[in-house]
Amino acid sequence: MPQGAAETDIHERLRLLEAEVLSLRERQHDMLRATPTGDSNVSDYLEQLPAVTATAPAAPPTGAKSKPAWPTVNVHGFFHADVGWFAQSALNIASVGDAQDGADFRRARLSASGDVARNVGYFMEYDFGFAGRPSFMDVYLDVRELSVGTLRIGQWRQPFGMDGLTSVKDILFLERSLPFMLTPFRQIGVGVFNTFPEERGTWAASTFRFPVDFYGGNVGDNGGFGMATRFTGLPYYQSDAQMVHLGFGYIGGDPANDLVRYQMTPEFFLNESGGPNVVPSGVPLGTPSFVDTGPIDTNFFHMINLEAAASYGSFHVQSEAYHVTVDRIADSTVNFFGAYAQMAYILTGEVRKYNKAGGAYGGVDPRCDFAPNCGWGAWEVATRYSYIDLNDDNVQGGRLTNLTFGVNWYLNPRAKFQFNYIHSFLDNPVFDRSDASIFAARAQLVF
């Protein structure tokens, strides 16, 4: 029988049953009224019967199955649409190349998350904006409620550094700081994490394959592994508006190809993946790296990190220092260093959220969204000093210092505009000192 016909038949049966019940109630009341010595127990019972109306919920058909609780699926996504202009000195162009103006979807991601059991969840995110190819981002499963915390297996941001573990949707500037490029970011592996009592801090540890490609793959017999750990604490916490955060991290590894390479653009990046009919021959397809060590033959690398952050009302500061030691195969050990400090003030009085479970800052929710007859959203001003030194021994990757000024306009919790002015000071071992200015903006939408 077609589904529509079955539903019609059920409703008709219910209607007939309701009519029959109402008829029986009327007959019983008539009998009681006609019998003065009627049984009071029967009368009380009839008064307690629930009224039957035409709006009573229909019973499910015989044999119908209830919807299973698992799995659950939640779909998310966001994009970053960027535009930027470069103003380089002649010496800077000679040092790194002619950085092109342009526009780009820096990120365009889709993700799904949910649970497949009460204590087993998943997250799968893919980026369609970087370099013109779909890429794996965070792809993992979590097993929760274990005695040690949560077990995670897959590819994710390894536990190291506050800057790296702040969601890219909530970072203060268009890009993370210069020394962030030193970290082995997303890798495939297994890890465990948890919070301390009363969420006054976090701890995490992982082991992973290194390095992975755009799809989370890694092969190699000689090495190819790494490990990471991070500890954070809240020595002072009254609320997100009054808190002090401290942290320490270590990450190290033996790369599968016995090579590491550290390179970085000046905290802004544009890319085009067009062919020769789109981009003239000789024109770079992406923003050039301003510092670059080139490939370094490596037995093992060690990296440590120190974190500090604090909030007082609408004002918040954050700083980190990184130190990397590379144990080379054929040469002496080399050391690299990087650090940054940033601060911001929300002009409209909101407070930047702090994620106690992750030990990192979150976003800003405007008190009043940008809308007719409502308000202008939330406005934030920020500045950052960022530095990296890739010169040691016969490795001369260069030194780069950035001063960045930013304005963030939060239209609502899911849409914002960001405006950055970046001034880069490059100390190149071949071309000496040069500088460049960058004007950039971003539109972000999250759903």
Contact 341, 371 (CB under 8 A): no
Cβ-based neighbours of 370, under 8 Å, separated by 6 or more: 376, 377, 409, 411, 412
Pair of tokens at residue 443: 């539109």
Tell whether 67 is covered by a domain. no
Tens of pLDDT along 207-218? 999 999 888 888
Angle (CA) 219-220-222 rounded to 5° is 160
Question: 44: pLDDT confidence band, cut at 50, 70 and 90?
Answer: very low
What value does the mean pLDDT of the chain take? 89
Would the pLDDT of 158 be above 90? yes
Please, which residues bridge with residue 380 across strands? 346, 408
**In the block, which residue shows the tokens 């401290």?**
246
Question: 36: pLDDT confidence band, cut at 50, 70 and 90?
Answer: very low
Tell whether 156 is covered by a domain. yes
Residues, the chain: 447
Q: How far apart are CA 307 and CA 335, in angstroms?
A: 20
Q: What is the C-alpha R_g of the chain?
A: 31
Q: How far apart are CA 305 and CA 204, in angstroms?
A: 14
Question: 32: pLDDT confidence band, cut at 50, 70 and 90?
Answer: very low
Tell whether 143 is covered by a domain. yes
Tell whether 49 is covered by a domain. no
Number of domains in the chain: 1
Tell whether 114 is covered by a domain. yes
Question: 306: pLDDT confidence band, cut at 50, 70 and 90?
Answer: very high
Tens of pLDDT along 247-300? 999 999 999 989 999 999 999 999 887 655 566 777 778 899 999 999 999 999
Question: 41: pLDDT confidence band, cut at 50, 70 and 90?
Answer: very low
Domain with 397, as residue range(s), is 72-446
3-class DSSP assignment, residue 368? coil
Q: How far apart are CA 294 and CA 282, in angstroms?
A: 21
Q: List the single range of 45-59, 286-300, 336-350, 374-388 with lowest mean pLDDT.
A: 45-59
Per-residue DSSP letter, 130: G
- The CATH number of the domain holding residue 129 is 2.40.160.10
Tell whether 20 is covered by a domain. no
Q: Is the dihedral of CA 383, 91, 180, 268 positive or negative?
A: positive
